[in-house]
Amino acid sequence: MNRSSKVNFNHAKTFSEGLQAVFWVFVEEGSAKGSIDGALESADYWSLKIRKLEIKEQIDWYVNFSVTLKKLGVYVGSNFPTGLTWNNSKGISDYAEIF
């Protein structure tokens, strides 16, 4: 495996692990911020391999990605501390009933 494909693989793994933060809307009540933090930790594991290469553009990419996830965690923690509240105006008691 050449260096370029290793970098691409590590980016893909970092992104896919971090992308799981978006699924905070589906977690049980009270654990939304924790799911974002968990996704960030998983992405951080794979980003270590990117940072070891010491390529400034690659490191900057991860720093920006990480900052975005951290800001999402702060936003969710301050605006949705108990998780997402679903509109119950139509008698739906659980989001699982929608799907």
Q: What is the pLDDT of residues 22-72, one digit of tens each?
A: 888 777 777 777 888 888 888 888 888 878 878 788 888 888 988 998 998
The CATH homologous superfamily to which domain 3-97 belongs is Adenylate cyclase-associated CAP, N-terminal domain (1.25.40.330)
pLDDT at 1: 44
How many Å apart are CA 17 and CA 45, to the nearest integer?
9
pLDDT at 67: 92
Q: 30: closest CA among 68, 81, 89, 94?
A: 81
Q: Helical H runs in 20-55? A: 32-52
Q: Specify the higher pLDDT residue, 85 or 52.
A: 52
Question: Which three-class secondary structure state does DSSP give residue 88?
Answer: coil
Residues 24/36, Cβ–Cβ less than 8 Å: yes
Parse the chain into domains and list their residue ranges: 3-97
Q: Specify the higher pLDDT residue, 2 or 37.
A: 37
pLDDT at 25: 77
